[in-house]
Amino acid sequence: MTVNAMKKIPLRAISKNGPQVGAIGLGTMAILAIGAWYGKTDENEAFKALTYALDRGINFWDTADIYGTSEETIGRWFKQTGRRSEVFLATKFGAFDPAGPPQSGPTSKPSHIIKSVKFSLEKLQTDYIDLYYQHRVDAKVPIEVVMETLWPFVEQGKIKYLGLSECSIDTLRRAKAVKGVGEKLIAIQMEYSPFTLDIEQNGLAAAAEELGVSVIAYSPLARGLVTGRFRSRDDFEPNDLRLTLPRWSEENFPRNLAIVDKFKEIADQHGATTSQIALAWILAEHPTWIPIPGSRSIERVEENGHSAELILPLEAIRTIRTLVNNAEVAGTRNRTVAWIAAGVEGNCIKLEEWKGEENM
* DSSP code per residue over 237-270: -TT-GGGGSGGGSTTHHHHHHHHHHHHHHHHHHT
Q: Would residue 38 show up in a list of annotated catalytic residues for this protein?
A: no
Catalytic option among 67, 161, 192, 218: 67
Kindly report, residue by residue over 113-129, the tens digit of the pLDDT.
999 999 999 999 999 99
Average pLDDT, the chain: 91
The pLDDT value recorded for residue 204 is: 97
Residue 142 C-beta-side C-alpha neighbours within 13 Å: 14
The pLDDT value recorded for residue 358 is: 92
> Which CATH code is given to the segment(s) 11-354?
3.20.20.100
Kindly report, residue by residue over 282-341, the tens digit of the pLDDT.
999 999 999 999 987 899 999 999 999 999 999 999 999 999 999 999 888 875 545 454
Query: What pairs with residue 159 in β-bridges?
Result: 129
Alpha-carbon gap, residue 98 to 151, rounded angstroms: 23
Q: How far is CA 123 from CA 71, 79, 109, 116, in A?
A: 6, 11, 21, 10
Kindly report, residue by residue over 33-88, the tens digit of the pLDDT.
544 555 566 788 889 999 999 999 999 999 999 887 889 999 999 999 999 999 99
| Identity of the amino acid at 10 | P
182-191, 242-251, 294-303 — most confident range: 182-191
Signed CA dihedral, 321, 325, 328, 329: sign only: positive
Query: What 3-state class would DSSP assign to 192?
Result: coil
pTM: 0.93
